[in-house]
Amino acid sequence: MSKQVKSALGKGLGALITMEDVNTNGSSSINEIELSKIAPNPGQPRTVFDEEALEELAASIKSLGIIQPITLRETGQDQYQIISGERRYRASIIAGLETVPAYIRKASDENILEMALIENIQREDLNPVETALGMQKLINEYQLTQEKLSERIGKNRATIANFLRILRLPAEIQMGLKDKNKPFNMGHAKALLSLEDPSDQLMVYKQILEYGFSVRKTEEIVKEMNENEPSPDVLPKKKKENSVANEYDLLRTHLSDFFGAKVAFAINEKGAGKISIPFASEKDLERIMQLFDTIKKQ
C-alpha cells in the first residue's frame, strides 16, 4: 500500500480515491459498467439493508439517475467487485438499470474490508452490531490495537471500546440493536453492560421493549438492581457447599421467574433476613400486585 493511501485511511473513502488511482479506460474517470458484471463484496460489513429505504432510493434513481458513482475493483476480465456503494447497486437493480456509473480502482483483498468498513462507519451506515463486528474483524485480521484502530477510522478509543463490549451481550439483545423498529439503541445497550448476569440483562431488555423505557430510565433501573445486590457478609458462608443456601438459590430462581423480576435475598448467619422484589415503574408495580392478588385467590 502506498504511503499516500496509508495516510488517507482515517479520512474516509473519498480520500482513498485519487485521479492517479482510477482506471480511466479512455478520457473519462467514470465508467459505465453493466450490472451483470458486478458482484457484491462477500466481506461487506453491512448485513442489513432496509427494503423500504432501497425502494425509495430506487425511485430516486429512476427519476434522477445515480448522482454518486459506486466504486469497484476489477477481479477478472470484465468482472468487478464492489468496494463501496452496495445500496446504490441493489437499488439500481430494483430500478431496472442495465449499467451504473463507477470508479474502477486497484485494491488488494487485504484492504477491501478495511476500506468498506471505514466508508460505512464514516457515513454511519452500519447498525451498532455491524460496526462492532467490523471493528473486531479489523483488529483480528490486521493485528491492530484499539489505539491504532482509532487512528484509522477517526473514532476515539472510548467509542471503540463501547462498540466492542456490546458483542458480550446475549444474542437476543444484539438482534434488538439491529432492528430499527424496536425502542432499543446503543445507549440502552451500554446501560445493560453494567449488569454482569446475562439473565438480568435479558430481563431488563424485555422490559425496555414492553414499556419503552428511555436510556436514562434504564440506567436508573440498572443502578438500583446493582445497589440491591446482597453484600457478601450477609450471605451464608460456603454458599456452594451449603445445602440450605442451595435451597435459597432455588427459591430465589422460582420467585424471580414468577414475578418477572430479580428477587433478592439478604440472609444472615442465623438464617434471618428479607426478600425484596424490585419493580421498574408504577405499571410494573401494578403487575406485581396483580400477581399477589392471584395468589390470594388460590
The active-site residue, picked from 56, 86, 130, 219, is 86
**3-state SS class at 243:** helix
Dihedral angle computed from the Cα positions of residues 165, 84, 150 and 8, in that order, rounded to the nearest 10 degrees: 170
Q: CA nearest 276: which of 242, 252, 258? A: 252
Q: What angle do CA 80, 82, 88 make, to 5 degrees?
A: 120
**Which long-range contacts link 141-144 to residues 24+ away (Cβ below 8 Å)?**
141/110, 141/113, 142/110, 142/114
Question: Which grid cell is 71?
Answer: 466504486
73 vs 120: CA distance, rounded Å: 17
How far is Cα 248 from Cα 257, in angstroms, rounded to an integer? 14
Phi and psi at 73, nearest 5°, equal: -125, 150
Whole-angstrom CA distances from 241 to 3, 175, 238, 245, 247 are 63, 38, 5, 8, 11
Round to whole Å and give the CA distance between 148 and 138. 10
Q: What torsion do the CA atoms of 192, 193, 196, 197 make, to the nearest 10 degrees? A: 40
Q: Tell me if residue 86 is catalytic.
A: yes
CA–CA separation, 24 and 31 (whole Å): 7
Active site residues: 86
